[in-house]
Copies of this chain bind each other. A is one copy, B any other.
């Protein structure tokens, strides 16, 4: 396959004023605020990278696997254009080849899908992130298209072969100061231990305690997971007290490896505690597989409260990521597993759901609870009012589908007035894409600069305070709130 001629290709540009306000006055102020943020290191207190990346520090092999197949944002957009998941390299759970026409697609074939449907990314943050990565990391200077599919693939592939694009080099290049992973209580954190023990590694990678699989009793695997939790913790989890002790023990083990936070994505409709004997009885039925859906629901709510109680004890910052229906089509999930783009958001409720929990712990100086949402109606209606009263609460960065410049702008508008800017936790990239970290922080900083510049030009803030708030958004507040 020969490289296509690129004489007629549109140039790929990265304008220095991209995403800034378009009015001259606001743009000028935004540039000044952005400049103050740009000098700061990146902190990444919530994300989904695998720590092994940094332990192995192996070069990334293939442009398509890196930038397409493993990025469920891109996968979903290409799938929406009719490209089969298998044609994008998404692996089957059973590791069988899904592609009737001749084995797994090679990287170049996947890249052609991306280039052919480059227009389908117009307007999306994935387009912004990819443009940024292609331009800044890989040196691509042509807009991807059918005509430039081969030449851009080759350019990226060449760059990937260099040491400058290996994981540790990227960590340094992005100016990362700390990066967190998200980990199961069943994980023994051996990779984190090995990384900590590696004298050649100077970065900081911290685990985050995500107990969903051992606190959500809905899946049939619950009892097995609880048993496994007991093994990992060395504590008998056949009764509720042991189960709680095992969770506490695993939290302690995470904290000992530097974890500062937990993360919770289990759906909850209430945070009422169950009484001691009731929870013991429900837990038994859950392990026996005889509990009702209502009991499962009640248990999930109870356990979120239990987690808040533990957080008050051990100081781990609690994050709440609810409101997503994951693995939507069961058949696709059975074939391809999770994180292939078929997760969708639903209406979210915090005010009444969290009332019991916040009545108990909301005033506690020992708790920090960061609320996220993919339902943006919750910003001005619930998160803003709640975080502007309870000292334990902070508003999390716009999450998932809302991690995009216009959506961030709406979140700033909605939260700034109700929550106060100071009650926003600042940006987290929440990404599975190492190469995309720089781009994601860049987009977020530009969005923040634009918002603050508008407040300055509307004479709601002086430039000095706006610049401080910008620095706080980009660096000080995430560091302080997530205790990293």
Contact = CB atoms under 8 A, between A and B. Distances in A.
A207 B375 CA distance: 37
A352 interface: yes
Contacts of A374: 381
Interface in A383-415: 384-391, 393, 401-402, 404-407, 410, 413-414
Interface stretch (A18-26, A282-290, A294-302, A311-319): A18-26
Contacts of A407: 380, 414, 417-418
Interface size class of A (residues with CB under 8 A): 35 or more
Nearest to A453: B22
Given A22-B458, A77-B420, A329-B362, A382 B119 contact: no
A64 interface: no
A81 interface: yes
A123 B10 contact: no
Contacts of A328: 355, 358-359
A366 to B, nearest CB: 11
A72 B364 CA distance: 20
A245 interface: no
B22 A393 contact: no
A210 interface: no
Nearest to A446: B458
Contacts of A325: 351-352, 355
A382 B23 contact: no
A99 interface: no
Given A331-B359, A358-B329, A423 B80 contact: yes
Contacts of A346: 349, 351-352, 381-382
Nearest to A80: B388
A91 B36 CA distance: 43
Q: Which 9 A-B pairs have the closest CB atoms?
A: A15-B459, A123-B416, A404-B417, A18-B459, A329-B359, A22-B457, A76-B389, A123-B421, A82-B391
Given A119-B422, A380-B407, 4 more contacts: A76-B389, A77-B388, A80-B389, A385-B401
Interface of A: 10, 13, 15, 17-20, 22-23, 25-26, 76-77, 79-82, 119-125, 127-128, 325, 328-332, 341-347, 349, 351-352, 355, 358-359, 362-363, 365, 374-377, 380-382, 384-391, 393, 401-402, 404-407, 410, 413-414, 416-418, 420-423, 454-455, 457-462, 464-465, 468-469
